[in-house]
Amino acid sequence: MKVIFYNVPNSKIKNFELMSFAEAVKLSHKIEHECRKEKEQFTSEFQVLGDNNKVYYRGTFEFGSYEFPNIYHKIKNMANRIKVDKQFQADKLYLLDQIEKLTPEKYKKEEKVDKFLAKVDKSQISKLKGWQRKSVYAIAVLGLTGSLVTGFTYVVQKDNYEKALADSGEELKQSQELIAIYESALMGDKNEMFAKLEQLDKKKLTDNQVQILFLEYINNNKFQKAVELFDGDHIQAETMIMSSTLPKKTKREKIAAFNEIYPTNEARYDLAYLDGDWKLMLNIQNVRMNVKRSEMKTYALLKLGKIDEAKLELNNNNSDELSKKITKYEVITAEIKTLEEKYKVMVNERKINEANQLAKQITDKRKELQSL
């Protein structure tokens, strides 16, 4: 089995480099512990491939998060938790069997690390050990909070609660009362925490506290309150929705609703991107650009085949991922041109079978180009 990491925003791992499963386990273990030591955190997507590049597992690994020591533990944990249809059960069992065979024994050892206590001042969190023992069951039961109706997952906000709790423990800027409220929020009791945060001076809120309030306001369509968090800057508020980790469908719904009340070119730009309407997106003028929107523009130009313009815009964001896509686009385009020339020769020579084979290759290459 092979592993490929991609969409990696860090030079510690090479994007799209194929490696053996054992190598991937060792590498993920090494980088996870480096990130813990350096207090660094980033997320990478990865796939586990079998023969003929069949995908047996696709997921993400959050380096430096203390979630898992390496991808072996991540895959084993997730595969055992996820139920699959009978038709895929054999693949699941094969995957679990293979990762056991391919993983060196020393990397299989279970670690006993409390990821929350690793990040906070233990003296400040008196109840956390008790909560930690319960959280495995609580999170499984809660799954989604009342925000399920609008598509906001418990996990999205839960991450913010954890970060805010860490802020309080490390910086000692919040009272014991507020820390206790964060603990309650992690267990699902959010109302008291929101009420407490709303009473604080907006200018003194940490970034994570702002994020907590912002997502709650957006969740409940309280757009005016969300804008007030940014001193009335509705463009910044909409930009924050676009930059969030919300699911694409939910993000689009919220931006569209927000744009009804606070119409902006930025929202129209972002909606066009989410809809894949590249021409409309590029025709929208006077947009407040940032790195994210520059990346979006680069991608739109790529999708329209405007490679020179895409390369020019790439200078504004320096995205390794987009740079690779542009290079791949040029390679595939050149391959298509060569195949088309060969196809014409075969047709002229009335070599029908060879021409049909080339036609199929051209179609496959065009599909590959479209999927970039």
Strands 18-20 vs 2-6: parallel, antiparallel or unpaired: antiparallel
- Over range 314-322, report the average pLDDT: 88
In this prediction, residue 28 has a pLDDT band, given cuts at 50, 70 and 90, of very high
Whether the per-residue pLDDT at 110 is higher than 60: the answer is yes
Q: Kindly list the domain boundaries of the chain, sorted by start residue.
A: 2-107, 114-220, 322-370
In this structure, the number of other CB atoms found within 10 A of the CB of residue 175 comes to 11
Strand order in the sheet with 2-6: 18-20, 2-6, 42-49, 55-63
State the burial class of residue 200 (Cβ atoms within 10 Å of its Cβ: 0-12, 13-18, 19+): middle
Hey, what are 53's tokens?
């590049």
Work out the percent of the chain whose per-residue pLDDT is above 90. Answer: 46
- Over range 297-302, report the average pLDDT: 97
Strands 55-63 vs 42-49: parallel, antiparallel or unpaired: antiparallel
Closest by CA to 302, choosing from 332, 336, 325, 272, is 325
- Rounded CA-CA distance 40/59 in Å is 20
Alpha-carbon separation of residue 300 from 240, 241, 269, 273, 325 (angstroms): 21, 20, 11, 8, 12
Query: Bigger pLDDT: 201 or 29?
Result: 29
Residue-level pLDDT at 115: 53
- Over range 57-65, report the average pLDDT: 87
Residue-level pLDDT at 189: 63
Whether the per-residue pLDDT at 290 is higher than 70: the answer is yes
Mean per-residue pLDDT of the chain: 81
- Rounded CA-CA distance 165/257 in Å is 31
In this prediction, residue 72 has a pLDDT band, given cuts at 50, 70 and 90, of very high
- pTM summary value: 0.55
Residue-level pLDDT at 90: 82
